[in-house]
Amino acid sequence: MHLYNYFRSSAAFRLRIALNLKGMDYGSTSIHLTKDGGKQFEAGFRAVNPQMRVPALKLDDGTILLQSLAIIEYIDEVAPQPPLLPKDPVARAQVRAVSQIIACDIHPLNNTSPLTYLRKQMKQDEAAVNAWYQHWVIAGLDAIEALLPGSTYAFGNQVTLADVCLVPQLYNARRFKVDLAKYPKIVAADAACQKLPAFEQAKPENQPDAE
């Protein structure tokens, strides 16, 4: 397998965690999202992913998979241990809900493309961009804190897809100086995950293309 990656992408961060948890080997190509206007817009990568975003995962047979949650669920199916989704249908839905609050509600408003649009097309300064970022992170984390049961990880004593999504989001929240004091359950789950090598190895600063 080959991962099209960027060290600071939280979506790629999620996928790196999942691959590490499964013990899956993969090669990696860095697609720098800001250098020279964004390497994701070059024709070579556009042929890999018409959406021009990372991550993308190229399988051994040449098939390209897109979208971090879709890829993670694929690898959870082909490499079922350790499982990232509970067996119980209700519990699975709860884990997916928290994962999607992050991946579908918080992240799309705060990834590189909308932030660049705010700066360039909307002529917003960094203070305004940061305020935008923090607003949507806080809105999402408020909901997640209320939904978590309070346990070792996000849901129970086993890492799930919710943790895989939550840790990169908290990493970015700290980078943008979001106050996490009112999220004890979230912070506790994150702290538990930080003790696991799969999460440590996936951190942005531990990637070959880290700056």
SS (H, E, C) 20-68: HHHCCCCEEEECCCCHHHCHHHCHHHHHHCCCCCCCEEECCCCCEEECH
| Cα-Cα-Cα-Cα dihedral sign, residues 154, 178, 201, 10 | positive
In 3-state terms, what secondary structure has residue 210? Answer: coil
pLDDT (tens digit per residue) in 105-163: 999 999 888 999 999 999 999 999 999 999 999 999 999 999 999 999 999 999 999 99
pTM for the model: 0.95
| Structural domains present in the chain | 2-82 (3.40.30.10), 89-198 (1.20.1050.10)
Phi/psi for 120 (5° steps) reads -90, -55
> According to the model, what pLDDT value does residue 211 have?
85
* 193 close to 164: Cβ distance less than 8 angstroms: no
* 148 close to 140: Cβ distance less than 8 angstroms: no
* Residue 34 CA: distances (Å) to CA of 9, 115, 120: 11, 12, 13
